[in-house]
Chains A and B, each alone.
Chain A
Amino acid sequence: MIFSHPRTWSLSVKLPLTITAVVVGVAITVGMAIVVQERDRIRENLEEKALVIARGVAGVAYEAVLRSDYWGLYKSLQSMTAPTDPSDNSTSILGGMVLDTEGRVLAHLNPEANPVGMPLLGANPEQRKWLREVLEVNAPHIHISRNEKGGYVESIVPVQSEGSVVGVVVLHLSTQEIFTRTLAAAGIIFAIAIALAIIGSMLGAYISRRMIRPLNALASGMDTVGRGDFTRIIPVKPRDKDEIGQLVESFNRMTGELAGKKQLEQQLAMNEKLAALGRIAAGVAHEVNNPLGGMLNCLDILKKKPGDETLIERYLPLLERGLNRIQAIVQGLLVELRTDQADSFGDGGCVEDVKELIAAEIGDRPIQLLWSNQIDSSTCVSCGHLQQVAHNLLRNAVQAVGDKGTVAFRTQVSGGKLLIEVEDNGAGIPEEVLAHLFDPFFTTKSSGTGLGLWITYRLVSRMNGEIEVESEPGKGSLFRVKVPSKSVVLPALSGAA
């Protein structure tokens, strides 16, 4: 998960992460602003503190300086700079002193190094320059400086009364306080930010769970629909009236409608099946009934005149013809049953057998048979089915050209498919006939059973193939059969059934 691309992350991860990031971002931005403001405030406080202390010392210093009360001056300086809290040893006061106008020490927080009455010596020119500047200050002055020990606030307040300046108070306060107090404030602010982030991520997790649960249910529902299974769709419960809720409701409505449609389709298919069955039954009844009527008439006549030899001679062939016809019908119907039996498999040479039969059918009529069998001997084909399909189509073609014409038979294997084409330049098939061409018992021939093309169609379907016909009245017809080579190669086509 961690190493995968963010685009592949689950929404249940991305949403809480986004919310957390936003909350943290806002909290940190606001926090930084507050910290910066707080730091300025603390700095101002520190400057004010430095100024107030220096002014306080300067206030009592005037009298003390005039009376040479160095001890009193030192005590004032010390007590005013002493930390308010004795346990607070942060020593924010780095230094403090009262100087006279000549730069001599009147009081110093570090009396050992800076004896009273002695000039405050600066060892280097920089310090002497600083002292000159300090002595020139004639109004309370404050600024922030920095030396090798760190930053400090320097406040300089002249000791004066009614315009006469007798000295100057200088105070140095460490800016460390700004840093430590800002750090403390930042600590609190960032703790709040983290708390907000935790709350935000929890909220994000809750919200995303709420949002994603119906989405997941939708996804699995769509998966089920995609597999075509309408029976196991569990309606998704919409939780809110938001966009997701609307989506869920639409999905529920859609699956409901799909399920209804599917049921309707199944009913229609069943109805059609029953209707087809009824048509076949009616066709069988009709086709069998026709010769039966004639045959029963013959039998009636023969029963009335049993001794009449001429009648027997006359009617027996009729009876035979009728029975033959019935047998042809029944055999045609039995093709269905036969296809369920194991078919024999062989190489493409078996199709050649059909050539003999058709040649016999043509007899001495001037019909040209163009024969091109490209199925090589290595291809295994379902012999019985293919022979029957080829024979049926060729016989129809021969009948279509009548006494004179051309019939072409072409086979080839390409792209995993076995292609068989039978073409003639006969009368062609009228458009209204084309629509019923493969219906059972549909025939335009007086002696036909109407089962030939129906059986062909059934056989091709058995082999998972397809059959198409192109025809133009007066110019001829082309029947094209495509059978997957898989079905011809695998011997287990119907053996497994």
Chain B
Amino acid sequence: MTGLITRRRALALLGASMFAHPLRAAEEERPVRFGLTAVVVRENLQFFERWRHYLEQRIGRPVRFVQRRSYREIMGLLQTGEIDFAWICGYPYVQKREPEFLELMAVPVFMGEPLYSSYIIVHRDNPATSLSDLKGKVFAYSDPDSNSGYLVPRFLLASTGALPDNFYRLTFFTYNHAETVEAIANRVADGGAVDSYVWEFMAKTRPAVTERTKIILRSQKFGFPPLVTRSAADQELKRRMQAAILGMKEDIDGRSLLAELALDSFSPATPVLFDGIRAVAQRMSEGGKP
């Protein structure tokens, strides 16, 4: 009985939509796919569920968050068009693409400015006070395409005149800033580089972990990991999504979600914001010599 009714209703719906706005309606039902990377702490699934609902209401389309282990996989999905939006790191953003297929949509405002830095952390009991003290030790990177978790610590080390590839006894990737902190806290790695936003966020939500670590070095500030959109995406969709993201600070639900992310707001951004990262990437591609 139930199956019959469902099928009949489905047919009726199908018929109605076909006669009204056939193509448009089918497009409206297709979920909008939004890629997430390790630039945010992704463990709180309930938060992302609420954010998804918020965005669905604002843009009038189903939204799906897509997660992958590495930044590179999310970049690949953007390139092939499997996802239209993503929250990526500044380093992949500044990498050369020919032709360019990404547009900046928004940049988070963190502690009053759209900037963050890289923290070099060690275990609380570790006597090291500088990067040089970590020679011959184990170092944890987050992702080979991460600015704060790979590019910047290598740059900082290169600035001291050391060769990053021989300096440590071992290095490994955690593919997650939060797990880099855990690796240091559990002493699997002696030192590690972590996104300052993630570390501060964890200091509030999981202080037991961050308390077992200490920051021995803070890098200069760089443009905060941006939210980007695929250039080829539907213009109307891009407009609606950007409006929803930028408008979050304007209503209670949005502000509550921002508070959970420990962010002030999302604001419009210009590519100039990432010139600092671009410069570092340029230096490192030239050998990293100071």
Binding site for B on A (CB under 8 A): 68-71, 74-75, 107, 111-112, 115-118
- Say yes or no: A70 contacts B169, CB within 8 Å: no
User: In whole angstroms, what is the CA distance A117 to B190 when docked?
Assistant: 12
- Nearest CB of chain B from residue A15's CB, rounded to whole Å: 67
- Say yes or no: A74 contacts B188, CB within 8 Å: yes
Q: What are 27 inter-chain pairs, A to B, with CB distance below 8 A? A: A68-B172, A69-B172, A69-B173, A70-B170, A70-B172, A70-B188, A71-B140, A71-B173, A71-B174, A71-B183, A71-B188, A74-B183, A74-B186, A75-B179, A111-B186, A111-B188, A112-B187, A115-B138, A115-B187, A115-B190, A116-B138, A116-B170, A116-B188, A116-B189, A117-B169, A117-B170, A118-B169
Which interface residue of B140, B172, B174, B186 has the most chain A CB atoms within 10 A?
A: B172
- Nearest CB of chain B from residue A364's CB, rounded to whole Å: 150
Nearest B residue (CB) for A115: B138
- Nearest CB of chain A from residue B38's CB, rounded to whole Å: 13
- Nearest CB of chain B from residue A331's CB, rounded to whole Å: 135
The 6 closest A-B pairs by CB, nearest first: A117-B170, A112-B187, A70-B172, A111-B188, A111-B187, A71-B174
User: In whole angstroms, what is the CA distance A68 to B187 when docked?
Assistant: 17
Given A111-B188, A116-B188, CB of A71 within 8 Å of CB of B179: yes
- Nearest CB of chain A from residue B137's CB, rounded to whole Å: 8
Given A68-B170, A69-B172, CB of A117 within 8 Å of CB of B187: no
- Nearest CB of chain A from residue B183's CB, rounded to whole Å: 5
- Nearest CB of chain B from residue A93's CB, rounded to whole Å: 15
Residues of B within 8 A of A69 (CB): 172-173
Secondary structure type dominating chain A contacts? loop
- Nearest CB of chain B from residue A120's CB, rounded to whole Å: 15
Which interface residue of A71, A107, A112, A117 has the most chain B CB atoms within 10 A?
A: A71
- Say yes or no: A117 contacts B138, CB within 8 Å: yes
Given contacts A71-B188, A107-B188, A117-B138, 12 further A-B contacts (CB under 8 A): A69-B173, A70-B138, A71-B172, A71-B173, A74-B183, A74-B186, A74-B188, A111-B186, A111-B188, A115-B190, A116-B138, A116-B189
Binding site for A on B (CB under 8 A): 138, 140, 169-170, 172-174, 179, 183, 186-190
Residues of A within 8 A of B189 (CB): 71, 116
- Nearest CB of chain A from residue B126's CB, rounded to whole Å: 10
Nearest A residue (CB) for B168: A117
User: In whole angstroms, what is the CA distance A111 to B184 when docked?
Assistant: 10
User: In whole angstroms, what is the CA distance A70 to B169 when docked?
Assistant: 13
User: In whole angstroms, what is the CA distance A117 to B188 when docked?
Assistant: 10
Nearest B residue (CB) for A109: B186
Residues of A within 8 A of B170 (CB): 68, 70, 116-117
User: In whole angstroms, what is the CA distance A437 to B252 when docked?
Assistant: 146
User: In whole angstroms, what is the CA distance A107 to B188 when docked?
Assistant: 8
- Nearest CB of chain B from residue A32's CB, rounded to whole Å: 45
Residues of B within 8 A of A111 (CB): 186-188
Which interface residue of B138, B179, B188, B189 has the most chain A CB atoms within 10 A?
A: B188
Residues of A within 8 A of B138 (CB): 70, 115-117
- Nearest CB of chain A from residue B115's CB, rounded to whole Å: 28
User: In whole angstroms, what is the CA distance A117 to B138 when docked?
Assistant: 8
User: In whole angstroms, what is the CA distance A116 to B186 when docked?
Assistant: 12
User: In whole angstroms, what is the CA distance A69 to B176 when docked?
Assistant: 13
User: In whole angstroms, what is the CA distance A299 to B140 when docked?
Assistant: 169
Nearest B residue (CB) for A118: B169
Which interface residue of B138, B169, B179 has the most chain A CB atoms within 10 A?
A: B138
User: In whole angstroms, what is the CA distance A263 to B186 when docked?
Assistant: 107
Nearest A residue (CB) for B186: A111
Residues of B within 8 A of A117 (CB): 138, 169-170
User: In whole angstroms, what is the CA distance A118 to B172 when docked?
Assistant: 15
User: In whole angstroms, what is the CA distance A117 to B172 when docked?
Assistant: 11
Nearest B residue (CB) for A116: B138
User: In whole angstroms, what is the CA distance A69 to B183 when docked?
Assistant: 12
Nearest A residue (CB) for B125: A112
- Nearest CB of chain A from residue B190's CB, rounded to whole Å: 8
User: In whole angstroms, what is the CA distance A112 to B188 when docked?
Assistant: 7
Residues of B within 8 A of A75 (CB): 179
- Nearest CB of chain B from residue A65's CB, rounded to whole Å: 12
Residues of A within 8 A of B172 (CB): 68-71
Nearest A residue (CB) for B190: A115
- Nearest CB of chain B from residue A375's CB, rounded to whole Å: 123
Nearest B residue (CB) for A107: B188
User: In whole angstroms, what is the CA distance A71 to B189 when docked?
Assistant: 9
Residues of A within 8 A of B183 (CB): 71, 74
- Nearest CB of chain B from residue A73's CB, rounded to whole Å: 9
Residues of A within 8 A of B169 (CB): 117-118
- Nearest CB of chain A from residue B156's CB, rounded to whole Å: 21
Residues of A within 8 A of B186 (CB): 74, 111
Residues of A within 8 A of B173 (CB): 69, 71
- Nearest CB of chain B from residue A339's CB, rounded to whole Å: 122
User: In whole angstroms, what is the CA distance A115 to B190 when docked?
Assistant: 9
User: In whole angstroms, what is the CA distance A116 to B140 when docked?
Assistant: 12
- Nearest CB of chain A from residue B73's CB, rounded to whole Å: 15
User: In whole angstroms, what is the CA distance A241 to B140 when docked?
Assistant: 91
- Nearest CB of chain B from residue A106's CB, rounded to whole Å: 10
User: In whole angstroms, what is the CA distance A116 to B190 when docked?
Assistant: 10
User: In whole angstroms, what is the CA distance A112 to B122 when docked?
Assistant: 13
User: In whole angstroms, what is the CA distance A115 to B179 when docked?
Assistant: 18
User: In whole angstroms, what is the CA distance A342 to B189 when docked?
Assistant: 131
- Nearest CB of chain B from residue A494's CB, rounded to whole Å: 117
User: In whole angstroms, what is the CA distance A115 to B174 when docked?
Assistant: 17
User: In whole angstroms, what is the CA distance A117 to B183 when docked?
Assistant: 15
Residues of A within 8 A of B190 (CB): 115
User: In whole angstroms, what is the CA distance A74 to B183 when docked?
Assistant: 9
Which interface residue of A69, A70, A117, A118 has the most chain B CB atoms within 10 A?
A: A70
User: In whole angstroms, what is the CA distance A118 to B169 when docked?
Assistant: 9
User: In whole angstroms, what is the CA distance A71 to B185 when docked?
Assistant: 12
Which interface residue of A69, A74, A118 has the most chain B CB atoms within 10 A?
A: A74
User: In whole angstroms, what is the CA distance A118 to B168 when docked?
Assistant: 13
